[in-house]
Structure 1
Amino acid sequence: MGSVVLSLDAELGWGFHDLESPPPSRVEAGRRGWSTMLELCEEYDIPATWAVVGHLMLESCDGRHEEHPAPDGWFDRERGEWTDREDLRFAPDLVDALLASPVDHEFASHSFSHVLFGDAATDHALARAELERATAIADEWGQSVDSFIYPRNDVGHRDVLAEYGLTAYRGKSPTEDGLRGIVDTRFRDQSLLVEPAVDEFGLVNVPASMFLFGFEGPARTVAESIWTDPMVAQARRGIDEAVRSDGIFHMWLHPNNLTHERDDRRMRAILSYLEHTRSKTDLAVETMGQVARRVAAATDANGQVVAVDGHPTGDD
């Protein structure tokens, strides 16, 4: 049985607070995109893994976080330029909407303040502080956390994830986010499917297949004017391949990628196609946590994934 995974990096202003010049359109689109994606997932009954920045679950703070071992200046924008922008710093209302959704979404972590775990400046103390705070806040909300999505896909400190009881993370795409078949025809037939694997810490890596907003700007406009939305075409190809090959297709985005109505149309086209395909085949739509549990259950004593739902994996 093939399956499709949809994961979202839910971060609002925290996805940009450390940048010298945050992109205004995306900063302002975070709340709109969050609500739109919840509505579309509900319309097509698509469960997704929502990785939420822990700070968004706070009602308020002084912006200092003096006990947090963050780098100097890490919270400067929060207590400076964005002091009066609580809509970018806090989102208990949006988290409430996510948890109240009739769709069986997975609540996952995107760290506490969007620290880059793979950065040389991020030591174990900082990684632990991010996980400690994020999981504690989730617990206060009555949410257990199994899956982690690294800020900016910067993988690091996997041992800390295991230490705090997480079981899965989203690894980097082996196909450059699925774009090679668009920008270079030599890779047109390259597979968009991924194979989850158990790492040395017992975590299940559920790699990304493609980023749904990786082909933007003038190139996208030209492509849409003479053909169709290339990312919709790629997503449909991945969904079809999952059906044919009984594999896993994992697509992801940020809610703040939905800056215009044409972005909404892209996601509607993808999710409607996914729902239609699921209704006509045995395709499943899974969360990262569900995939991780399947993979862990099918892993042998040597840590090798030998079968998933009865399908052998790896070398013959």
Structure 2
Amino acid sequence: MVDLLEEYRIPATWAIVGHLMLESCDGRHADHPAPDGWFERERTDWQDREEIRFGPDLVRDVLESDVDHEFASHSFSHVLFGRPETDRELAVAELERSLEIASDWNQSVDSFIYPRNEVGHRDVLAEQGIQAYRSRSPTRYGIRCIFDLTVLNKSLLVTPTIDEYGLVDIPASLFLFGFEGSARTVAESVWDDPMVALARYGIDQATERDGIFHMWLHPNNLTHERDDRRMRAILSYLAQRRAETDLTVETMADVANRVTGGITAEADARPTVTRS
């Protein structure tokens, strides 16, 4: 993914789980207020599999890229902020630990991507100086997204807003791996990759009207050559349309800075709607 983004000179917001940046740990995290058993796999199933517990080399690849990517937080241990069992103490600990590790790497954090898009404890984000977060898409995944666009006449474009905490809420537009399995195989055999078609549609919408087309994926979605082909097709089309029109490509921090005019989450702000 890093190589593809460099090839097409496209910056991205990378949501980094803090634990990935560690070189090692005791697998217990006794000072962390996580629920009982939260780190159990580190001491059992994953005990001898450091490659899935630690990945600082992956983070270095992003930071050393020639493209100006954004370093963002995805929490410390992928705690689900929207769940009832995630209390304020745990949310604070997750964010504080992530920011501490980022600081050790000489990185600042402006954007937060909620694990599994479960939004919660936004006040904690504001208190810790976070500027923006990603919220859920107004359209659904996969074939249901096509239904939303064609039958319900929804748009893939989203509009960032400033919430009551002064944070910039940037909704997602399209999950690029929401159409998989046998359905994808059948569609590709008789037509085209449906996610490439949807991505091109969203890119074209963004060249024609106000709004943001906000694509996202997990890097671990890229498991086969056809996944690389999907991303190459989308990124090459994005680069082409950027060259042909006044389309711009922004990270989440870029969007937040433009929407707020540089005002931080700690400053006084009122809910408002801003179009790009």
TM range (shorter): over 0.9
Instruction: In structure 2, list runs of 5 or more residues that go unmatched.
Output: none
Q: 1:60 aligns with which of 24, 43, 56?
A: 24
> When the two structures are superposed, what TM-score results if normalisation uses the length of structure 1?
0.83
Q: CA deviation at 1:247?
A: 1.7
Report percent identity of matched pairs. 69
- Give the 3 Å change call, closer, same or farther, for CA 294–177 of structure 1 in structure 2: farther
Residue 107 of structure 1 aligns to a residue in which SS? strand
Residues 187-202 of structure 1 mapped to structure 2, 5 A cutoff? 187=151, 189-202=153-166
Q: 1:13 is matched with which residue?
A: none
Alpha-carbon separation, structure 1, partners of 2:269 and 2:21: 39
Residue 266 of structure 1 aligns to a residue in which SS? helix
Post-superposition Cα deviations, 1:120-176, rounded to whole Å, max 9, x if no partner, equal: 100000000000100000000000000000000011000000111000000000112
Post-superposition Cα deviations, 1:159-194, rounded to whole Å, max 9, x if no partner, equal: 000111000000000112475352567437421000
Q: Decide whether the 8 Å contact of 2:79 with 2:115 is kept in 1.
A: yes
* Alignment partner of 1:173 is 2:137: yes
Q: 2:212 is matched with which residue?
A: 248
Q: Decide whether the 8 Å contact of 1:57 with 1:91 is kept in 2.
A: yes
Q: 2:108 is matched with which residue?
A: 144
* Alignment partner of 1:260 is 2:235: no
Q: 1:14 is matched with which residue?
A: none
Q: 1:96 is matched with which residue?
A: 60
Q: Partner letter of residue 47 of structure 1?
A: P
Q: Partner letter of residue 43 of structure 2?
A: R
Residue 249 of structure 2 aligns to a residue in which SS? strand
Instruction: In structure 1, list runs of 5 or more residues that go unmatched.
Output: 1-36, 309-316
Q: 1:304 is matched with which residue?
A: 272
- Give the 3 Å change call, closer, same or farther, for CA 306–189 of structure 1 in structure 2: closer
Q: 2:38 is matched with which residue?
A: 74
Alpha-carbon separation, structure 2, partners of 1:43 and 1:113: 31
Segment of structure 1 superposing worse, 179-188 or 274-283: 179-188
Residue 72 of structure 2 aligns to a residue in which SS? strand
- Give the 3 Å change call, closer, same or farther, for CA 255–284 of structure 1 in structure 2: same
Q: Decide whether the 8 Å contact of 1:169 with 1:205 is kept in 2.
A: yes
Alpha-carbon separation, structure 1, partners of 2:210 and 2:256: 16
- Give the 3 Å change call, closer, same or farther, for CA 138–298 of structure 1 in structure 2: closer
Q: Decide whether the 8 Å contact of 1:194 with 1:209 is kept in 2.
A: yes
Alpha-carbon separation, structure 2, partners of 1:251 and 1:205: 15
Residue 171 of structure 2 aligns to a residue in which SS? coil
Q: Decide whether the 8 Å contact of 1:179 with 1:210 is kept in 2.
A: no
Displaced runs of 4 or more, over 2 A: 177-190, 298-303, 305-308
Note the aligned Cα RMSD (angstroms): 1.7
Post-superposition Cα deviations, 1:232-282, rounded to whole Å, max 9, x if no partner, equal: 000000000000003210010000111111011000000000001101111
Residue 213 of structure 2 aligns to a residue in which SS? strand
- Give the 3 Å change call, closer, same or farther, for CA 162–218 of structure 1 in structure 2: same
Post-superposition Cα deviations, 1:5-55, rounded to whole Å, max 9, x if no partner, equal: xxxxxxxxxxxxxxxxxxxxxxxxxxxxxxxx0010000011000010000
Q: Partner letter of residue 118 of structure 1?
A: G
Alpha-carbon separation, structure 2, partners of 1:109 and 1:284: 23
Residues 1-316 of structure 1 mapped to structure 2, 5 A cutoff? 37-177=1-141, 179-183=143-147, 186-187=150-151, 189-297=153-261, 302-305=270-273, 308=276
Residue 176 of structure 1 aligns to a residue in which SS? coil
Q: CA deviation at 1:81?
A: 0.9
Q: CA deviation at 1:205?
A: 0.4
